Amino acid sequence: MFVRLQKGKDEKNWQLSVGCNIPGKWILHWGVSFVGDNGSEWDQPPKKMRPPGSVSIKDYAIETPLKKLAEGDVFDQVNIDFDTRSDIAAINFVLKDEETGAWYQHRGRDFKVPLVDYLQHDGNVIGTKSTFGLWPGALGQLSKMILKADTSQSGIQDSSSESCELKQENKHLEGFYEELPIVKEIIIENTVSVSVRKCPETAKTLLNLETDLTGDVVVHWGVCRDDSKNWEIPAEPYPPETIVFKNKALRTLLQPKEGGKGCSRLFTVDEEFAGFLFVLKLNENTWLKCMENDFYIPLTSSSCLPAESVQEMLIPGKAEEATQEVSQTAYTAGIIKEIRNLVSDFSSDISRKTKSKEAQKSILLEIEKLAAEAYSIFRTTAPTFFEEAAVELEESKPPAKISPGTGTGFEILCQGFNWESHKSGRWYMELKEKATELSSLGFSVIWLPPPTESVSPEGYMPRDLYNLSSRYGNIDELKDVVNKFHDVGMKILGDVVLNHRCAHYQNQNGVWNIFGGRLNWDDRAVVADDPHFQGRGNKSSGDNFHAAPNIDHSQDFVRKDIKEWLCWLRNEIGYDGWRLDFVRGFWGGYVKDYLEATEPYFAVGEYWDSLSYTYGEMDHNQDAHRQRIIDWINAASGTAGAFDVTTKGILHSALDRCEYWRLSDEKGKPPGVVGWWPSRAVTFIENHDTGSTQGHWRFPGGREMQGYAYILTHPGTPSVFYDHIFSHYRQEIEALLSVRKRNKIHCRSRVEIVKAERDVYAAIIDEKVAMKLGPGHYEPPSGSQNWSFVTEGRDYKVWEAA
């Protein structure tokens, strides 16, 4: 990569360029430091500094895609223009690989390009020249030196003027060009397929194992008699070139296929065995396993197998680390079969009305777990088997509960606050007065603001987690509003910030990383690679949030305390579930731990990052973006959903640019998370960050109702923003809510996209509701089914099956 600082058209206008010559989708995650800032926190740059295609990240950073400026360029790059007369002291950045999610820093720290001479050289500065007059200490110390030197005692105004003059004098920039090496890990994938059939003559089970791996691939294998999967050596005969290994397993060298494209071998197993176990050995140091476990092929049902049953497995690896053991994915056919058997069992017993509701819930819960496991295994393609299961399920009446953390599937979420709600000081009481009204509109879940004492009045910089006196109200008022919503039949989500926490005290170095209150953690609770807060914990398992100490969730005492706190909120306040803030900051497996401990009715995580852009325009294919969200859901084992940021971003471009073709992916399905894992997609068009008075990523003006026409008629769990409910959009939103409830549209409803063209998008949902967006023409087909018009607005229209 390169970093270049050069003069623009004159001494007052300069340009910083960052480029990378490795192919891929690169993002510059950047911000600025202003003169007079203390610490290492970032701020967002002025809007005129932001290159085209830039996206705001919270309130502290910008993400800008790198692109080739001309055909034939070797580097993708981004240019940032700035005025030297501004009060910006430095530009800070890290480079992000959008394809892999990897972040590239400078010596373990953020890159820093100083624009003033007196910044400290703290090891991460790029382009520092010997001609820079580096002053010891920060600007605050410099100011003290100026004041001491001012023996004339000419007053505050004079010393302030001298500071300004000094700032300008010390902003003598020198251009530079610096190249730094970076390494990108490339993921490679291989496959293994195992076909299983029963020999009609010998009654033995025949397994044909094939792989596209090349070279001397050895199968280390055995059999087992039950689900305990204890290895045994079967009786002979064995394939040629098989040896016995320590009387515990067999090793067979696979034979190369014709043409050299992979290798294969046929294995014979007696029908008494329940399973076939194996791992693949490439060399003495490299073993390919199934998610750290042995590959397992069930054989118990081989007597009723068709002539041939094929089970395919993906084997991902890392080209840069071929000698290390890597996690492998496993077969999916067995899991899919289990799902279908469970669904068939559920459907047949429902029709006979012999199964209790508890048994129904148990079966459906098992289906959800198997689906989550199967998606983990087969994550590189759309999980079509989820849809097959959903189609069969929708024929029967859904039970009251499907899966912990994901509700019944019929939830409609209301975000019950905006960015300004704290200002009244009595928001809980104001919201309580609207409980009956919100329930009557059709909302079943309300998301309340963060309840804890916080450095910021909005609640997203929590300090004492057990202190529930916030700017929204006190603990008694919180309990009161929760009870009121329960009385009107609504569930309540608490907004919990688990990624970071503000400290009460400074350590010996003056860094704020010592906590007080009931959870009086020390700096071991802060991640070690957060450069701003000098933690003594382990490295972060996610992205750092720069404004507060990032909590190390790998620490046992931290997880124990957080689980106790969440359980206390459930029991003491009455929360039914959680909205999880900034889940990009820590591994989804920790979320799974917290949700299993608290058993929420519903939970949703905020995983927000930039979509894919090319030359400043949004790409049609956003699979990589929605895959990252799904990867997080999957890391949490499907115990929580996630906000469908992908769908929001695509709606922005489709509606604002009249490009409605964007609302269908390459397979004719919805292009967001809702198209791949609808039961875990929480769709929305606006929230307190993107809209309200912050406006970080505001929905295209005047097109909000098109957005609601989409999310309120489609699968997923829709979330409606408070500001829109109590606005001139209310009547239209109310009509769409009625359509959804009347036709029992749920998170797994089936969508048939019938048009996705430049000026019109149209879809039929569950064969009950037809809708269209855009100025183009569409009418639902007339035939065996009659349609009646229900509601319409600017560039949208909805019909119901008569």
Phi, psi of 210 (to 5 degrees): -130, 145
Closest CA to 39 of 93, 94, 90, 115: 90
Say yes or no to pLDDT of 305 above 80.
Answer: no
Question: DSSP class of residue 432?
Answer: H
- Mean pLDDT (whole number) for 783-787: 85
In tens, the pLDDT along 214-230 reads 889 999 999 999 888 89
C-beta separation of 707 from 771 below 8 A: no
Whether 235 maps to a domain, the answer reads yes
582 and 702 both lie in a single domain:
yes
99 and 223 both lie in a single domain:
no
111 and 204 both lie in a single domain:
no
| Domain endpoint, select from 179, 207, 223 | 179
621 and 744 both lie in a single domain:
yes
120 and 266 both lie in a single domain:
no
Whether 331 maps to a domain, the answer reads no
Q: How far apart are CA 91 and CA 188, in angstroms?
A: 36
Q: What pLDDT does 392 receive?
A: 36
Q: How far apart are CA 724 and CA 421, in angstroms?
A: 14
- As given in the structure block, the two tokens for residue 74 are 């070797």
Q: What pLDDT does 409 receive?
A: 92
Closest CA to 635 of 583, 599, 673: 583
312-315: Cβ within 8 A, 24+ apart: 312/191, 312/192, 312/193, 313/191, 313/192, 313/193, 313/194, 313/377, 314/189, 314/190, 314/191, 314/377, 314/378, 314/380, 315/189, 315/190, 315/191, 315/192, 315/211, 315/213, 315/280, 315/288
615 and 722 both lie in a single domain:
yes
List the catalytic residues. Answer: 581, 606
Closest CA to 523 of 482, 557, 567: 557
Cis ω on the peptide bond leading into residue 237 (within 30° of 0)? yes
Whether 490 maps to a domain, the answer reads yes
607 and 486 both lie in a single domain:
yes
Q: What pLDDT does 709 receive?
A: 98
Question: DSSP class of residue 12?
Answer: T
pLDDT interval class at 311 (50, 70, 90): low
Coil, strand or helix at 171: coil
Closest CA to 311 of 374, 269, 221: 374
Say yes or no to pLDDT of 158 above 90.
Answer: no
Dihedral sign for Cα 631, 634, 636, 640, please: positive
Domain containing 250 — which CATH number? 2.60.40
In tens, the pLDDT along 611-657 reads 998 767 889 999 999 999 999 999 998 999 999 999 999 999 999 99
In tens, the pLDDT along 765-780 reads 999 999 999 999 999 9
Mean pLDDT of the chain, nearest integer: 83
**Residue 777, class by beta-carbon neighbours within 10 Å (0-12 exposed, 13-18 middle, 19+ buried)?**
exposed
Dihedral sign for Cα 722, 726, 727, 729, please: positive
Question: DSSP class of residue 323?
Answer: T
Say yes or no to pLDDT of 476 above 70.
Answer: yes
Coil, strand or helix at 630: helix
- As given in the structure block, the two tokens for residue 459 are 């609640």
691 and 594 both lie in a single domain:
yes
C-alpha to C-alpha distances, 207 to 1, 266, 278, 300, nearest whole angstrom: 50, 6, 12, 13
Q: What pLDDT does 285 receive?
A: 72
In tens, the pLDDT along 671-695 reads 999 999 999 999 999 999 999 998 8
Q: What is the pTM of this model?
A: 0.57
DSSP characters for 354-399? -S-HHHHHHHHHHHHHHHHHHHHHTTTS--HHHHHHHHHHTTS---
Whether 394 maps to a domain, the answer reads no
Look at the chain and report how many structural domains it folds into. 3
Say yes or no to pLDDT of 234 above 70.
Answer: yes
Whether 774 maps to a domain, the answer reads no
649 and 727 both lie in a single domain:
yes
100 and 206 both lie in a single domain:
no
Q: What pLDDT does 119 receive?
A: 57
| Domain endpoint, select from 251, 281, 298 | 298
| Domain endpoint, select from 246, 273, 298 | 298
Whether 58 maps to a domain, the answer reads yes
Say yes or no to pLDDT of 520 above 80.
Answer: yes
In tens, the pLDDT along 324-364 reads 233 333 344 555 555 555 555 554 444 444 445 555 655 66
Domain containing 611 — which CATH number? 3.20.20.80
Q: How far apart are CA 124 and CA 121, in angstroms?
A: 7
- What range does the domain containing 89 cover? 2-126+174-179
595 and 474 both lie in a single domain:
yes
Say yes or no to pLDDT of 741 above 60.
Answer: yes
119 and 208 both lie in a single domain:
no
Q: What do you get for the CA distance between the two ends of the chain, in Å?
A: 61
pLDDT interval class at 40 (50, 70, 90): low
pLDDT interval class at 784 (50, 70, 90): confident
Whether 268 maps to a domain, the answer reads yes
- As given in the structure block, the two tokens for residue 244 are 């016995």
Whether 221 maps to a domain, the answer reads yes
Contact residues for 72 (Cβ-Cβ < 8 A; gap 6+) = none
- Mean pLDDT (whole number) for 548-568: 96
Q: Which amino acid is at 604?
A: V
Closest CA to 53 of 611, 665, 689, 654: 611
